[in-house]
Amino acid sequence: MMASQGTPKDSFHCVAIIFFVLGLGTLLPWNFFITAIPYFQSRLIVGNCSADGENENGTVPGLEPFPGCTDDFNFSNWLALLSQLPLLLFTLLNSLLYQCIPDKVRVQGSLFGILFLFTLTATLVRVKMPPQSFFSITMASVWFINCFCAILQGSLFGQLGSFPQKFSTLFLSGQGMAGTFAAIAMVLSMASGVDAETSALSYFITPCFGTFVSIICYLVLPHQDFARHYLTKRHPEDPGYELETKAGLLPPEEGATAVPHSSQEEPLHMNNRKIFAPEQVEVKYSPKVMNGTKGEGLATPELSVVSVLRKIWQMALCIVLVFAVTLSVFPAITASVTSVSENKTWRKFFTPICCFLLFNVMDWLGRSATSYFLWPEKNLPMLHTMVGLRLLLIPLLLLCNIPQRSYLPVLFHQDAWFILFMVVFSLSNGYFVSLSMCLAPKQVEPHESELAGAIMTFFLALGLSCGAGLSFILKALL
């Protein structure tokens, strides 16, 4: 039996590095697109700009928008919405999708799809076209890239369910670093001293290279003895082993409830817990259909989405509210704030540094803080109050120095106010997201933790989509 064999060592931490890189690769597309909002807006501006994407002086759009030009396409709003809707859609459809398509096809197909679409985005840097055509092609790319990302993320989290907990942590750490990586790539491209077109091209080539490295890493993964040991547990060739250890994979009869298995049905394993051992829970025996014939009854615990949701609804509400607040203003509102400084260099780097780089670094620190303390762990009303107070950050950011506005005044002119608001905004986002995901499994029985993670994942996607939709309303209020 597999359990009696010794576990190979992860030589030179190769598998750990691979999962970190794969985590980085899953969120590179979203972060590289939102960080490049100034570039896209410069291709879509209509004030003082000709239809071929150049301004009156013939300057090629770069990584920062032209002053005096306005974006009539609401690019940042549509970017957020069309990035989050695929996540919500594929979270709902993942059970059907993951049962019909093998792991390797889902992961490799998604990575190659992302690579192709990012290559197309990089190619469009040198292709002049009317703003409407550019907008349509870019939005189509955003939609399909995020469809691939949703499939990729769910598939990799399913595979991580078979590995020790620390590999899930490394994967999540890689995801957390994706935003910082994109912001640094933006700053370096702008500081390189090359012309605007070359700067934008080099920026978009970076995620192409990152995705290619992710493909290589995934192809190398099955050749590592350590990885093969755990991956074999997900698809054992020995039928006796499967009957003994993978009872939850057998299809139940009508009226019976099967255990949700992390490798096939669970799109996101955010709670970082291993699948429960059958002896740890009370079980009901019911006949199962095996290979077309009735077999002996196998132990499967009864699980109910409704009963689990009743236990974690407060955490689910928190995660929806946190992400709804965050996506309602980031990046649609925050990327529109400009510096009042007369220093041209500072004005050029203000958005990449104070909006994107600052947000991602502070968000990562907030998520990391839950490794040391979980407050308020036992006082849920206090948690709800703290999460609710983040709503105050919406008007504060709306009243910062955003030039294009018709209704609201500017009350916070100085750059320091915006930086202060962004620090609180991003730190609280990372901390409360991580805290909610950590506390949710503590509200349920051990055998319900996997289902609780799946439910929290759905509400996470719901919060992102609600925030993206709300950003249109907030943009209209300016």
Per-residue pLDDT of the chain (478 residues; tens, 9 = 90+): 344 457 788 889 999 999 999 989 998 988 999 999 888 988 887 544 444 444 443 444 566 655 545 557 889 899 999 998 988 888 777 656 666 778 888 899 999 999 999 999 999 999 999 999 999 999 999 999 999 998 888 788 778 877 887 887 788 788 888 999 999 999 998 888 888 888 889 999 999 999 999 999 999 999 999 998 888 865 544 443 333 333 333 344 444 444 444 433 344 444 333 333 333 444 343 444 344 444 444 444 556 888 989 999 999 999 999 999 999 999 999 999 999 999 999 998 999 999 999 999 999 898 888 878 888 888 888 999 999 999 999 999 999 999 888 899 999 999 999 999 999 999 999 999 889 988 888 888 877 876 787 788 789 889 999 999 999 999 999 9
- Here the tokens at position 454 are 């799946």
Task: Classify 71 as helix, strand or coil.
Answer: strand
Question: Are 38 and 185 members of one domain?
Answer: yes
Q: Is 5 inside a domain boundary?
A: no
Other residues' Cβ atoms within 10 Å of the Cβ of residue 13: 12
**What is the C-alpha separation between 356 and 472, in angstroms, rounded?**
20
- Here the tokens at position 86 are 């695929």
Question: Are 321 and 467 members of one domain?
Answer: yes
Short-list 434, 460, 356, CA closest to 173: 434
Q: Is 1 inside a domain boundary?
A: no
Predicted local confidence at residue 297, as pLDDT: 44
Question: Are 105 and 160 members of one domain?
Answer: yes
Question: Are 127 and 79 members of one domain?
Answer: yes
Q: Could you tell me the CATH number of the domain that includes residue 137?
A: 1.20.1250.20
Question: Are 73 and 220 members of one domain?
Answer: yes
Question: Are 180 and 295 members of one domain?
Answer: no
The predicted-structure confidence for 155-181, as pLDDT tens digits, reads as follows: 887 788 778 878 877 887 888 889 999
Predicted local confidence at residue 182, as pLDDT: 92
Question: Are 243 and 206 members of one domain?
Answer: no
Task: Classify 112 as helix, strand or coil.
Answer: helix
Give 409-413's long-range contacts (Cβ < 8 A, gap of 24+). 413/340
DSSP-derived secondary structure letter, 130 = -
Q: Is 328 inside a domain boundary?
A: yes
Question: How many domains does the chain contain in total?
Answer: 3
Question: Are 260 and 309 members of one domain?
Answer: no
* Last residue of one domain, picked from the residues 235, 266, 292: 235
Question: Are 265 and 133 members of one domain?
Answer: no
Predicted local confidence at residue 302, as pLDDT: 58
Predicted local confidence at residue 261, as pLDDT: 43
The predicted-structure confidence for 291-317, as pLDDT tens digits, reads as follows: 444 444 444 455 688 898 999 999 999
Question: Are 356 and 453 members of one domain?
Answer: yes
* Last residue of one domain, picked from the residues 217, 235, 253: 235
Q: Is 95 inside a domain boundary?
A: yes
**In 301-323, which positions are buried (b, 16+ CB within 10 angstroms) versus exposed (e)?**
bebeeeebbebbeebbebbbbbb
Question: Are 276 and 423 members of one domain?
Answer: no
Short-list 179, 170, 196, CA closest to 38: 196
Q: Is 2 inside a domain boundary?
A: no
Predicted local confidence at residue 109, as pLDDT: 94
Q: Is 7 inside a domain boundary?
A: no
Q: Is 408 inside a domain boundary?
A: yes
Question: Are 47 and 168 members of one domain?
Answer: yes
**What is the C-alpha separation between 74 and 85, in angstroms, rounded?**
17
What phi and psi, each to the nearest 5 degrees, are found at residue 359? -60, -50
**In 362-377, which positions are buried (b, 16+ CB within 10 angstroms) versus exposed (e)?**
bbbebbebbeeeeeee
Give the structural domain span for 448.
Answer: 304-478
* Last residue of one domain, picked from the residues 270, 300, 330: 300
Short-list 368, 342, 353, 335, CA closest to 434: 368
